[in-house]
Chains A and B, each alone.
Chain A
Amino acid sequence: MERIDQIKKEFFEHASQVSMPEHLEELRIRFLGRKGKVTEAFAMIKDIAPEVRPRFGSGLNQLKKELEAHYEELKARLEASTESDERLDVTLPGRRPFTGRKHPLLKIADEIKDIFHSFGFTIEDGPEIETDHYNFEALNIPRSHPARAMQDTLYITEDVVLRTHTSPVQIRVMEERKPPIRMIAPGRVYRRDTPDATHSPFFHQVEGLVVGESVTFADLKGVIQAFAHRMFGKEARVRFRPSFFPFTEPSAEYDVWFNGKWMEISGAGMVHPNVFRSVGIDPEKYSGYAFGMGIDRVAMLKYNIRDIRLFFDNDMRFLRQF
């Protein structure tokens, strides 16, 4: 039993000296290690008189527990003290990676596409340089039509134009596929407009087309309303006004109530029978609606941008805000 007290005394003497991790490790090896004093003492048990053996054994167990606990405490204290010595300046800036981001206009286009895709629309694509036929004739805009003046056109040749709207994709899809059709076609379009805050000679539209049996004007209003709710929130109201497009009849202009104002988004209407005829769809059997929207316009509304040119200057100080 003296031996136990002696080990204990020696341990605490040494322990009081410990100030560095190495010393602590030394202490552990000397007392608690495989060849340490406590282990040695356990080995002595067999030499001890049987009558005192149990008491010695339990005393030794208790000693081991006590020393281990003290060791752990020392270790924790030591770790705490070494950590607090080194102070980081957490206010210094970190090493930031350069993150890639998408263009605000294309982010809005992605959003619009996602909404219509979730509505069951396919996403279609068509050439930006189009024939007069697809851009005008097939859309019920013959050469002598006054509406040709509405869209001041950029020509490549007399019969080839920079498309003035995404509507030619309607024609291409209807030529290719039979109803029912539900599609959108986002893309770039061109007009002979001098650039200013609200005009750009190129801008971006999403065309929509639905053709089937008994598709109605009420359905058109419904899909636009559903879109406005998804895009602008549940409070968004939609207003429809009569308008004129040669390829739809009745034609409508629709506005969305956003940020306390009616904002004009674009046009829509029921597909004109002449358009159906030009692609060989029977207007007596099928009906359909088409709509368009300006992606640039929606993006300007959403982000509160007043000058369309900001999108195409590509100023990093602008782009990195999105």
Chain B
Amino acid sequence: MKISYNWLKDYLDIDLSPEELAEQITNAGLEVEEIITTVQALNNVVVGKILSCEKHPDADKLSICKVSDGEEEFPVICGAPNVAVGQSIPFAKVGARLPVGLKIKKAKIRGVESIGMICSREELALEDHSDGIWALENAPAPGTDFNEVLKEHSDVIFDLFITANRADCFSHIGIAREIAAFVDKAIRLPEVTVKENATKKITEALSVDIEYSAGCPRYAARVIENVSIGESPEWLRERLEAVGLRPINNVVDVTNYVLYELGQPLHAFDYDTIAGSRIIVRSSKAGETFVTLDDKERTLPENTVMICDAEKAVAIGGIMGGQNSEVSSKTTTILLESAYFDPRHIITSSRKLGLMTDASQRFEKGTDYANVIFALDRAAAMIAELAGGDILKGHLDAYPHPIAPVTVELDLSRVNKILGSALEDAEIIELLSRVQLNFDKGRVSVPSYRHDIKLDIDLIEEVARLKNYDNLPTSVYEPLSLEQPVRLREVTFRLLRDALTHVGLQEVFTNSMISEKQLIALEEKEPVKILNPISDDLAFMRQSIYSGLLPVVSYNVNRHQNMIRLFEIGRVFNRSKEELPEQPTRIAIVLSGLRAPQNWTVGEEAVDFYDLKGVLEGFFNEIHLDNIRFILYSESSLYQKHHAAEIFYGNIKVGSCGLFSKETCKRFGINQAVYGAELDYDVIEKSLNRELKYQTIPRFPYIEKDVAFVVDKTMTAEEVMSLIRKYGGRLLTDIEVFDVYEGEKIASGKKSIAFRLRFQSLERTLKDSEVEQVFRKIIKKADQVHGIPIRDQ
């Protein structure tokens, strides 16, 4: 909401500079987001007078003017439609640089010389758009420095963020009232004298009936005859422009002016379009449609407040007027409406219609029901003055069930109890009185414009606000003497992220809203779709962290990053039968590009499956989760066939990993191998061994034996190891694979796997002979029972 410094000064004497004032307003809880100065200093611009004005011989739309700066005369070409002899205008001389970035030079336009420029308000940065040059009213003598003229037009605009509870602050009077409370002054309301010049009484011209007082408790009206619709005077246009409104005509401009002055939305109808001299306020009918001012036909939601005449609806109450009753240039009689609409009705209808207006935004927050007549009179008087109308005698005020003034009970001792302060009762009462909250015998009367004050706590906030939060006491924070336990989830979260970074993975953090194209489902579950997404790119919730990680791979590969090792922990979402979707947490890892950072000592090798598996093994080892098994996984189309594994902890599935299939990579625009793993956070959390116990370090030497078996290509290392373990017995403590060979030296369809077996005892030094005996047994059994021979040396 934009507030003009000059405008505020109509209601309050302000001794503060705009900056000081901004700080004061912010401290009152109305945050000033920006301070805008409307006028910028000019050089080489003076007041000029147009001495003559002729059509350009070679251009229809151009005029050749003779402009005097008081001393000399200059030929100036002007393209504005409103240029005329005798006008005083802002004249930019050669060498002037205008705030919009234009530099004035001598020029020839279609063969005619032009020395200088006649400016519009737009070119002086006074408004966003001008239709013609600025013809000055009451201009000083030609040659006067134009900065003198601008002084009258200079203003400072505060752009305020007003919180939804402070409906009373959406106007200049409202803001003035707030400032007054803080500087302890009184405001001046505008003086209103309604000259009821018409001979007719309003009762002869109109009747108002409220049939739906739940939606519209109060409806008042005046009628003004013989108005002439035209342009508003400069001061009015300037004020509206200052607060960001576009001037339209004198009647509409007045209603907007009063809106921004008093915060009361008004509506002007063309009285001659109102059938039967009647206004009836009723609720909408099922399926009713209506064409609003903006030419749109709208289907009205139920219980919408409709303003109607004897035959038809003419406005959606408090939201927007109708096309059928709009004020036009031909309008001569105005029906002016000032009403109080129920906030809940407005908010509901406005939402359902998807239609928000300056009026609806104020009504939905609550306007001042006691100020309806004052605003009506203010606007009527201004219209009569500016559009030359005659106001009919009297006004109509339908207000079937007057709203009772609000009072709130306040136990003064509670103020200090909540604020931790030591304010005297008298000070509390005085502070409240500054915002017209009058305390009397334990009760506080609330002004009709303060819809936000309903409970004692609201009054306590007012005391704190007026005292200024920074002037209230601050306790020295004392931590609780008893240490609070850290939640398990947080411990796990840290542990896992530490482990993942320890194995050389960079943490990333991606959006959980994704496009349909990004959807990846690791289980057969339905995705969660957003009803009102920001865009199609953000229409679904991710079902796998991969959906966010793969775009990061693509993003970085495209930026020539050659080593990509990432992880992310976050929630994924699946549709469920419960009220809320499933929202489990997952850990995902991706590897792509080089195995190791580029270095002059090593060649460039790309990562493969065993790099990924190594990272996973390192991770599980780091978190002390042993007993992890990898089992070939060929079902998923996400991964390349036979290049993926399911990961188990005991018999519980922890996740999957593998090389992403070509299709998957293509979907994310990636042209290189990417390996990934996704793990179930909850399973890991439940499986963690949180109480580590010391294991004896063996004191006696070990004996190592190497053996290579020749097996079918399809046999896994794990299968061979499990049979080695079976025959190795207690003394066999460790098996390591140190070579895998396929090739011409062994039969086709076979491979050789070489193992190093370690034998050790915790109790004694082993004898060579007993180890040899076990080792022989393994070889013999492998050959005789399983048909697995050792490789010939």
Q: Does B573 contact A (CB under 8 A)?
A: yes
Known: A120-B483, A244-B164. A98 touches B510 (CB 8 A): no
The residue of chain A having its C-beta at the shortest distance from the C-beta of B573 within the complex is A129
**Is B163 in contact with A243, judged by CB distance below 8 angstroms?**
yes
The residue of chain B having its C-beta at the shortest distance from the C-beta of A134 within the complex is B580
**In whole angstroms, what is the CA distance A194 to B564 when docked?**
29
For window 289-322 of A, CB contacts with B under 8 Å fall at: 311-317, 319-320
**Is A95 in contact with B601, judged by CB distance below 8 angstroms?**
yes
Q: What residues of B have a CB within 8 angstroms of the CB of A214 in the complex?
A: 417
Known: A121-B484, A131-B579, A144-B344. A314 touches B510 (CB 8 A): yes
For window 210-262 of A, CB contacts with B under 8 Å fall at: 214, 216-219, 221-223, 225-226, 239-244, 246, 249-253
CB distance from B259 to the nearest CB of A (A): 18
CB distance from B656 to the nearest CB of A (A): 22
CB distance from A73 to the nearest CB of B (A): 38
Q: What residues of A have a CB within 8 angstroms of the CB of B573 in the complex?
A: 128-129
**In whole angstroms, what is the CA distance A94 to B598 when docked?**
10
Known: A98-B565, A241-B469. A130 touches B580 (CB 8 A): yes
Q: Does B433 contact A (CB under 8 A)?
A: no
**In whole angstroms, what is the CA distance A273 to B461 when docked?**
13
Residues of chain B at interface, number, CB under 8 A: 94
**Is A216 in contact with B469, judged by CB distance below 8 angstroms?**
no
Known: A182-B484, A244-B166, A314-B510. A226 touches B477 (CB 8 A): yes
Q: Interface digits, B546-583 against A, CB 8 Å rule (1 contact, 0 not)? A: 00000010011001010111110011010000011101
**Is B531 in contact with A241, judged by CB distance below 8 angstroms?**
no
**In whole angstroms, what is the CA distance A253 to B559 when docked?**
40
Known: A123-B490, A218-B421. A244 touches B163 (CB 8 A): yes
Of the four ranges (under 10, 10 to 19, 20 to 34, 35 or more), the interface on chain A belongs to: 35 or more
- Of A93, A149, A239, A287, which is within 8 A of B164 by CB? A149
Q: Does B485 contact A (CB under 8 A)?
A: yes
Q: Does B44 contact A (CB under 8 A)?
A: no
The residue of chain A having its C-beta at the shortest distance from the C-beta of B455 within the complex is A273
For window 95-110 of A, CB contacts with B under 8 Å fall at: 95-103, 105-106, 110
Q: Interface digits, B670-709 against A, CB 8 Å rule (1 contact, 0 not)? A: 0000000000000000000000000000000000000000
Q: Does B495 contact A (CB under 8 A)?
A: no
**In whole angstroms, what is the CA distance A157 to B507 when docked?**
33
**In whole angstroms, what is the CA distance A192 to B533 when docked?**
8
CB distance from B160 to the nearest CB of A (A): 13
Q: Interface digits, B600-639 against A, CB 8 Å rule (1 contact, 0 not)? A: 1110000000000000000000000000000000000000
**In whole angstroms, what is the CA distance A249 to B502 when docked?**
46
**In whole angstroms, what is the CA distance A101 to B498 when docked?**
9
For window 449-479 of B, CB contacts with A under 8 Å fall at: 452, 455, 457-458, 460-461, 464-465, 469-470, 472-477, 479
For window 111-154 of A, CB contacts with B under 8 Å fall at: 113, 117-125, 127-131, 144-147, 149-150, 154
Known: A122-B487, A146-B364. A100 touches B503 (CB 8 A): yes
**Is B165 in contact with A244, judged by CB distance below 8 angstroms?**
yes
Question: Looking at the complex, which of B25-33, B290-298, B328-336, B391-399 is the stretch in contact with chain A?
Answer: B25-33
Q: Does B643 contact A (CB under 8 A)?
A: no
CB distance from B556 to the nearest CB of A (A): 5
CB distance from A240 to the nearest CB of B (A): 4
**In whole angstroms, what is the CA distance A122 to B483 when docked?**
9
CB distance from B609 to the nearest CB of A (A): 18
Known: A103-B508, A129-B583. A315 touches B556 (CB 8 A): yes
Q: Does B38 contact A (CB under 8 A)?
A: no
**Is A273 in contact with B457, judged by CB distance below 8 angstroms?**
yes
Q: Does A31 contact B (CB under 8 A)?
A: no
Q: Does A11 contact B (CB under 8 A)?
A: no
Q: Does A270 contact B (CB under 8 A)?
A: yes
Describe B's contact surface by its main secondary structure. loop
Q: What residues of B have a CB within 8 angstroms of the CB of A110 in the complex?
A: 494
**In whole angstroms, what is the CA distance A94 to B365 when docked?**
67
Q: Does A71 contact B (CB under 8 A)?
A: no
Q: Interface digits, A177-210 against B, CB 8 Å rule (1 contact, 0 not)? A: 0000010000010101110000001100000000
**Is A316 in contact with B469, judged by CB distance below 8 angstroms?**
no
Q: Does A272 contact B (CB under 8 A)?
A: yes
- Of A145, A216, A222, A316, which is within 8 A of B417 by CB? A216
**Is B502 in contact with A156, judged by CB distance below 8 angstroms?**
no
Q: What residues of A have a CB within 8 angstroms of the CB of B571 in the complex?
A: 128, 188
Q: Interface digits, B483-513 against A, CB 8 Å rule (1 contact, 0 not)? A: 1111101100010010011111111111111
Q: Does A160 contact B (CB under 8 A)?
A: yes
**Is B565 in contact with A202, judged by CB distance below 8 angstroms?**
no
**Is A192 in contact with B475, judged by CB distance below 8 angstroms?**
no
Q: What residues of B have a CB within 8 angstroms of the CB of A253 in the complex?
A: 31
Q: Does A162 contact B (CB under 8 A)?
A: yes
Known: A124-B487, A216-B420, A241-B26. A192 touches B464 (CB 8 A): no
- Of B348, B482, B489, B570, which is within 8 A of A120 by CB? B482
CB distance from A37 to the nearest CB of B (A): 40
Q: Does B117 contact A (CB under 8 A)?
A: no
Q: What residues of A have a CB within 8 angstroms of the CB of B501 in the complex?
A: 99-102
Known: A240-B469, A319-B506. A119 touches B531 (CB 8 A): no
Q: What residues of A have a CB within 8 angstroms of the CB of B534 in the complex?
A: 154, 192-194, 201
Q: What residues of B have a CB within 8 angstroms of the CB of A240 in the complex?
A: 469-470
The residue of chain B having its C-beta at the shortest distance from the C-beta of A117 within the complex is B486
Q: Does B36 contact A (CB under 8 A)?
A: no
**Is B596 in contact with A98, judged by CB distance below 8 angstroms?**
yes
For the complex with contacts A95-B599, A241-B27, A249-B460, 10 further pairs of A-B residues with Cβ separation under 8 Å are: A93-B600, A97-B596, A101-B501, A214-B417, A222-B474, A241-B31, A312-B511, A314-B509, A315-B556, A319-B507
**A residues with CB within 8 A of B:** 92-103, 105-106, 110, 113, 117-125, 127-131, 144-147, 149-150, 154-160, 162, 182, 188, 190, 192-194, 201-202, 214, 216-219, 221-223, 225-226, 239-244, 246, 249-253, 270, 272-273, 287, 311-317, 319-320
**B residues with CB within 8 A of A:** 26-29, 31, 163-166, 343-344, 347-348, 364-365, 417-421, 452, 455, 457-458, 460-461, 464-465, 469-470, 472-477, 479-480, 482-487, 489-490, 494, 497, 500-513, 528-534, 538, 541, 552, 555-556, 559, 561, 563-567, 570-571, 573, 579-581, 583, 596-597, 599-602
A-B contact pairs, 9 of them (CB 8 A): A95-B601, A100-B501, A100-B567, A130-B580, A216-B418, A216-B420, A244-B452, A249-B458, A252-B469
- Listed from nearest, the 7 A-B pairs whose CB atoms lie closest are A218-B420, A216-B420, A242-B29, A120-B480, A100-B501, A244-B163, A250-B461
